[in-house]
Homo-oligomer: A and B are copies of this chain.
Amino acid sequence: MAAENSQFSIINSQFSTWIWYPGDFEVWLGNIFNNRRTERGAMFPPFWKQDSHYVTVEFSKAFTLDHEETITIAAEGQYNFALDGKLQYIPLTSHSSPLTSHILPLTSKFTIPAGKHKLNIKVWNQATPPALFITGDTIHTDSSWLATYEDKLWIDENGVAHGSGIYVPAASWHFDAIDTPPSSFRLEREELRPVSATTPDVSPSATTPDGSPSGVLYDFGRETFGYLKVVGLKGTIRIYYGESAEEALDKEHCETLDVLTSDIRHQTSDIASKAFRYVYIEKEAGADYDEVLMDYEYAPHNASHSGSFRCSDDLINNIWDVAAYTMDLTTREFFMDGIKRDRWTWSGDAIQSYLMNYYLRFDTECVKRTIRQLRGKDPVTAHVNTIMDYTFYWFKSIHDYYEYTGDDAFVREMWPRMVTLMDYVESRLSPARGGSPATTPDTSGMAEGQADDWIFVDWVDFPMHKRGTLCFEQILLMKAMETMALCAKLLGINKSDYRVKAEQLRNKIKQTFWSYDKRAYYHAVEEGTMNTQITKFPNMFAILYGLAYEEERREIMQSVMLNPDIPAITTPYMRFYELETLLIDGRHEQVLQEMRDYWGGMLHEGATTFWEKYNPEESGTQHLAMYGRPYGKSLCHAWGASPIYLLGKYYLGVRPTKPGYEEFEVRPSLGDLDWIEGDVPTPNGMIHVSMNREQMKVHASEGQGWLIVGDQRIKVRANEEVTIQISNTQ
């Protein structure tokens, strides 16, 4: 995968695939994806700018033919076709409106004589991304073709062409058949039946006591996602969805609902996909139906290239399974936050999904799609998702992606949009301290939230300001700058100023926020004054993002992370990072216990997927409420699945030490378990690890690495199993 994608290499593939302008498929699909959110029947698009694909794109390639060759050209959109700079006649009848989406593309055939040639094809499509498919004996559209949105090719009064557009390699994925163009993309489906259908004893809430016939509550057995199908419908029915039975039965407050009427010829596909475990259906007078089913919708994955985990504790195994199912439900066209409510891509949520995904499905296409979509297009008019922290995570996610995949072609593709996003960030940094007295903390060059920025950090249950210059944000910004420096170096771009800027910021964060007294980073500078609140947020990111070196890290663990006086984190979102610091500190037993309490706690409450937020001190329907709404909380939220990542990286102990697992290390740890066993996917292979109290085994199918036990480093070569015995004194 990494090899195939290597930078700008010319691939002469033996088959054709649909091509388009890089990022445009994601921008277009992202709008469809994010606009599927509904709230009680109303569409709920995001509050950030939705971009559009480039509506006119030119594709080109030069080649030499030994023999005359007849090619078939198909395009999504109206197109032209120039051979060696000369436009060719395409009969009018093969044109269609560029304003509608095409499920079946328009095709024509053309014969090209032997010799050296250049093909240029321009495709225009307002509704879906302009896309091209050409196939012949030797001519195939693929990523060796170039794409541009402005060729700048002008013709002077003598008919001579001049110009200098900017060309990039065309994008492609797996659309390898002429009749499956990009706009036809759909996830997979599988029919499921409810496990029970009951008439509720207690009459559900109703707006009016109209004596309407009582309905039926269907239970699909666990949280699921897809398209409800009502077979044999006559008349009108009302459908109330619930992640809990309480929600489905609360007609006034359930988050999603539908009204279906048979006489407008509804097909199954007319009911938009929903997240639910329960469905409560009421019939209007005279209405009836035969059966209720659903089409479960999912992104297919390769089971033989997936992570796994098993151990001696069934509760931990159960947590891993439910976390994996939570991930599978939220891994879709893009990584989604939660399946019921937002159904959006959120950068802060996504970066965790990516990391979990590297230990579960290794679906790098979904990572790339999500990164592209979150970035969208220039001009940058807001932070990613409007959230400052989410912009910074976006940069970090490219760092992580490169680390796990070694795919520099993607870094190269994203680089121009990284630069313009960082330009936006830098244009909003605090100016050099002018007249402010030297005694006030120096926040020049730091990122302070502006009126139109959302500073998220976390949903917290304790008082915490999000105004001023937050230490947490600066650490993320430092990492973003370091990512810029890393990528510039990787691409051979002379932008060493990012390295300097990151280093300057690193020093300034320490000077400004570190308390030598408290051995901790303070929270923020507000209006020239230090807010000396201490929270886990900046302190744990100081550890995770490499601001704190070993000695300081140990101090922070004691003064903050293990200090019971510091307010607790209550979202799985930040527990992800919190637990990682504990594991870096070697507290594997403690973290297993935290998993049993926290994730086990959700299972104990009946969770079939992990939640957006969990407070063990709440009970009953309190667990369902959030955002001031009784069922506002998402019960299937990607950030709840962090055990996948933690168990893979810190118990199986596998991580890349050179990009794309060219080199890796395996540092297994049992914690309090008797045995563990599992797999971690790598770009083109798998690493299998098993450990019990007596021995460890490692097998890797690509790359090379080290099995690390205490101070020992044992070399692991591809396809050679390494077994070592553990001394009792370990």
Contacts and interface: CB of A to CB of B under 8 A. Distances in A.
Contacts of A90: 41-43
By DSSP majority rule, is chain A's interface helix, strand, loop, or mixed? Answer: loop
A723 B155 CA distance: 53
A490 interface: no
Nearest to A52: B52
Nearest to A264: B93
Contacts of A47: 150-154, 163, 165
Contacts of A257: 89
A41 B258 CA distance: 49
Interface in A138-178: 149-160, 162-166
A382 interface: yes
B159 A452 contact: no
B150 A45 contact: no
A68 B122 CA distance: 53
A127 B152 contact: no
Interface stretch (A79-87, A432-440, A592-600): A79-87
A57 to B, nearest CB: 9
Chain B CB within 10 Å, residue with most, of A55, A155, A159: A55
Given A124-B50, A454-B154, A627-B157, A55 B31 contact: yes
Counting every copy of the chain, the complex holds 2
Contacts of A209: none
A533 to B, nearest CB: 19
B92 A124 contact: no
A41 B89 CA distance: 5
A9 interface: no
A157 B459 contact: yes
A333 B677 CA distance: 69
A389 B35 CA distance: 42
Interface string A229-270: 000000000000000000000000000011111001000001
B40 A628 contact: no
A126 interface: yes
Contact of A56 (B35, B89, B91, B261): B35
Given A54-B49, A627-B158, A31 B454 contact: no
Contacts of A70: none
14 contacts: A31-B124, A42-B87, A42-B88, A43-B78, A48-B150, A92-B270, A93-B261, A99-B127, A126-B126, A152-B382, A157-B459, A159-B628, A159-B632, A163-B452
User: Which 6 A-B pairs have CB atoms at the shortest separation, nearest pair first?
Assistant: A159-B628, A52-B52, A42-B87, A127-B127, A41-B89, A43-B80
